[in-house]
Amino acid sequence: MIAVSIEPGSTPPLVDRIGDGLSRVATAMRSEAWTAAEAIGLNPTQLQILTFLVARGRSGMRVKQIAAYLGVSQPTTTDSVNALLRKGLVEKQADPSDARALSVAATPQGETAVRQAGQLASATEDAIAALSKLEQQDLLTHLVKIIRRLQTAGAIPEQRMCVNCRYFRPNVYDDAKAPHHCAFVDAAFGPAELRVDCGEFEGADAAERDAAWRVFNRGAV
């Protein structure tokens, strides 16, 4: 974060204060990621990749796709996947969409490792859980907006979020608790169910995504 010179007794701009707050939360989360990863004999990047693969299910992902989705360099991803292979936490298999290619999927041992890491105490999760349900919902909506802005600016890869998905139908129902529709499961859902990463995600084309975002934004907090 870039340091901003502030006159004594003055209040830093709101954007700076929010950024500083997010930086402090990120520091806590990085520390917890190291603790969780070390508890199961991994480093944070390996645990991040393993957690990502567990969420993808048995179909797996190609190394190039893993690197793109997580914003990690391909050599780093390859090294981490090889380490996970040696530990028996992931396996290579034929890619369902291309028999000539290989994908990487989590093994049952890998799924167990992720569950073990997730059971460790997390001060960050406790702090979020201490918010009311409405505050949590509002926070999620604001995070989705920030993430999409970062994505649009090219600061992070495209995320597998509802608001980027071809199945997302925002604000189609006159129901504040469940205004959105997911065409994949053919069901209504509310702001609290918005996903930042979804295994059933299929990217919408740019025009559809932008149109859906405009509709979503009109009804978003």
Residue range 114-162, pLDDT digits in tens: 999 988 878 999 999 999 999 999 999 999 999 999 999 999 888 889 9
pTM over 0.85: no
Q: Give the lowest-confidence range in 2-11, 43-52, 164-173.
A: 2-11
Measured CA to CA, the distance from residue 22 to residue 112 in angstroms comes to 31
Residue range 174-206, pLDDT digits in tens: 998 999 999 999 999 999 999 998 888 899 999
Q: Give the lowest-confidence range in 1-15, 55-69, 94-108, 198-212.
A: 1-15
Measured CA to CA, the distance from residue 163 to residue 137 in angstroms comes to 15
**In this prediction, what percent of the chain has a pLDDT beyond 90?**
71
Mean pLDDT, residues 88-111 taken together = 86
Mean pLDDT, residues 55-84 taken together = 89
Q: At what angle do helices 14-39 and 108-118 cross, to 10 degrees?
A: 130
Q: How confident is the model at residue 221 (pLDDT cuts 50, 70, 90)?
A: very low
**In this prediction, what percent of the chain has a pLDDT beyond 70?**
93
Question: Which secondary-structure segment (H or E) carries 103?
Answer: strand 98-106
Residue 113: exposure state from Cβ atoms within 10 A (0-12, 13-18, ≥19): buried
Contact predicate 18/96, CB 8 Å: no
Question: Which secondary-structure segment (H or E) carries 77?
Answer: helix 74-86
Domain ranges of the chain: 22-118, 131-219
Contact predicate 95/103, CB 8 Å: yes
Which tops the pLDDT comparison, 3 or 24?
Answer: 24
Q: Give the lowest-confidence range in 38-47, 97-106, 197-206.
A: 97-106
Mean pLDDT, residues 69-73 taken together = 86
Contact predicate 203/187, CB 8 Å: no
Q: Please give the CATH architecture assigned to the domain spanning 22-118.
A: Orthogonal Bundle (1.10)
Average pLDDT, the chain: 89
Question: Which secondary-structure segment (H or E) carries 31?
Answer: helix 14-39
What are the C-alpha distances in Å from 158 to residues 77, 169, 183?
Answer: 17, 19, 20
pLDDT at 38: 93
Q: Give the lowest-confidence range in 76-90, 161-175, 197-211.
A: 197-211
Residue 138: exposure state from Cβ atoms within 10 A (0-12, 13-18, ≥19): middle
